[in-house]
Amino acid sequence: MLNRREALLGAATAAIFAAGTAPSSADTAAVPASAPDVGALQRQKVTLVAPPFVHAHDQVAIGSPRIVEFTMTIEEKAVVIDDEGTELQAMTFDGSIPGPMMVVHQDDYVELTLINPDSNTMPHNIDFHAATGALGGGEFTLVNPGEQATLRFKATRTGTFVYHCAPGGPMIPWHVVSGMAGAIMVLPRDGLRDESGRSLRYDRIYYVGEAEFYIPRDADGAFRKYDSAGEAYEDTMAVMRGLIPTHVVFNGAKGALTGDNALTANVGETVMIVHSQANRDTRPHLIGGHGDHVWEEGKFANPPAKDLETWFIRGGSAGAALYTFRQPGVYAYVNHNLIEAVELGATAHFVVDGTWNDDLMTQVSAPGPISMN
């Protein structure tokens, strides 16, 4: 029997299956006690949208648990990750970094078809932290170029969870820091609740996927460009082993969520921000605002923390924060390691419309000469 560590160290998939950690479909059929009667369940096909946006969904579930069908296509491609034209030989779920966010309700079944077109060069898979068993689904979804696989798992636990590619050994961190991570949110069937059990709702939801990149430099210190991910592999691994990223960004590139791409809201609206980091710790902070209700670990079974100034997202997890904007203006939403925010790229902007509240803040006197009396 292989354990997770052996699998992470690069055991061949064939060996994993041979060791019997995961039953074949034939085995499953022979164990009716654990086989779900999903044939009777309603099916819902959801088309995913690129972050920071999230597909339309109900906050309170309508009806009984269903099978929610998603499809993601893996794309290996070069992407520009800053305003200096630096290139990452990226690997992506559905073409975006992070991959698209999925939303279901507790006890729904997630049915994901993962497509690896033959234009790609590498095997990929998906490990859902929301799922139970078989390396989070990684064992059932390892697809070579030209293949697809479909995984179904029951979303038994509520919360926001990371998913990421985990094809074995050093491929695992390399694929993750090349862009292959995203998030899924499993809502309680009756919606979100505060610490006293009162219902909470959001008017808007945004998905901020933080990622860090390790771009090799040439002898002159300039970022190197490569023709393919494979060609970049060895140099990139050398930078990765130093653990100092060259870029720490939200949604795939420095500036991806600022300027024309800023997130928007109105005064009085409650915004849900889901923030994931698949590989490294981070600490979101909304400059000039707060986290009214924050599930740092992203797990809705636990009561939310209140009035947070900065919250902590553990590497390998996704957290969720609710904030009702009280003032108009431009808010920076940052990783409050400010070096990472300002120098390495981890900054987003919220542009908020509405009427200024003088009671909350006012400029009593504008900057001027120092008065000596």
Q: From the candidates 108, 111, 127, 212, give the one annotated as an active-site residue.
A: 127
Q: What share of the chain is helix, strand, coil (3-state, %, to 5)?
A: 15, 35, 50
Residue 349 falls in the annotated catalytic set:
no
Residue 124 falls in the annotated catalytic set:
yes
**Contact at 8 Å (CB) between 345 and 247?**
yes
Measured CA to CA, the distance from residue 122 to residue 16 in angstroms comes to 19
Measured CA to CA, the distance from residue 280 to residue 205 in angstroms comes to 23
Least distance (Å) between residue 59 CB and Cu ion: 32
Residue 210 falls in the annotated catalytic set:
no
Running DSSP on this structure, what letter comes out for residue 96? B
Least distance (Å) between residue 252 CB and Cu ion: 16
Measured CA to CA, the distance from residue 313 to residue 320 in angstroms comes to 9
Q: From the candidates 231, 309, 343, 353, give the one annotated as an active-site residue.
A: 309
Q: From the candidates 165, 171, 240, 272, give the one annotated as an active-site residue.
A: 165
Pairing of strands 317-324, 291-295: antiparallel
Judged by beta carbon, residue 65 or residue 100, the one nearer Cu ion is 100
Q: From the candidates 122, 180, 185, 272, give the one annotated as an active-site residue.
A: 180
Residue 57 falls in the annotated catalytic set:
no
Hey, is 182 helix, strand or coil? strand
Least distance (Å) between residue 171 CB and Cu ion: 7
Residue 297 falls in the annotated catalytic set:
no
CA-closest candidate to residue 183, choices 248, 250, 244, 134: 250
Least distance (Å) between residue 178 CB and Cu ion: 8
Residue 105 falls in the annotated catalytic set:
no
Residues in the chain: 373
Burial 127-161 (b: 16+ CB within 10 A, else e): bbbbbeebbbbbbbbbbeeeeebebbbbbeebbbb
Judged by beta carbon, residue 175 or residue 275, the one nearer Cu ion is 175
Judged by beta carbon, residue 138 or residue 345, the one nearer Cu ion is 138
Judged by beta carbon, residue 229 or residue 344, the one nearer Cu ion is 229
Q: Which parts of this chain interact with Cu ion (CB under 5 A)?
A: 124, 165, 175, 180
Least distance (Å) between residue 119 CB and Cu ion: 14
**Contact at 8 Å (CB) between 89 and 80?**
no
Judged by beta carbon, residue 175 or residue 290, the one nearer Cu ion is 175
Judged by beta carbon, residue 173 or residue 255, the one nearer Cu ion is 173
Strand partners, 147: 116
Residue 180 falls in the annotated catalytic set:
yes
Residue 272 falls in the annotated catalytic set:
no
Least distance (Å) between residue 175 CB and Cu ion: 3
Enter the tokens of residue 291: 């986290």
Q: Burial, 80: exposed, middle or buried (Cβ in 10 Å; 0-12, 13-18, 19+)? A: middle
Least distance (Å) between residue 165 CB and Cu ion: 3
Residue 310 falls in the annotated catalytic set:
yes
Q: From the candidates 101, 102, 129, 275, give the one annotated as an active-site residue.
A: 129
Judged by beta carbon, residue 145 or residue 329, the one nearer Cu ion is 145
Least distance (Å) between residue 330 CB and Cu ion: 36
Judged by beta carbon, residue 202 or residue 213, the one nearer Cu ion is 213
Asked, as a colleague might, if the bond just before 98 is cis with ω within 30 of 0, I would say: yes
Specify the long-range contacts of residues 122-126, CB closer than 8 Å, at least 24 apart: 122/76, 122/91, 122/167, 122/171, 122/175, 122/229, 122/230, 123/167, 124/74, 124/91, 124/165, 124/167, 124/175, 124/180, 125/165, 125/166, 125/167, 126/72, 126/93, 126/151, 126/163, 126/164, 126/165, 126/166
Q: Which residues are catalytic?
A: 124, 127, 129, 164-165, 175, 180, 285, 309-310, 336
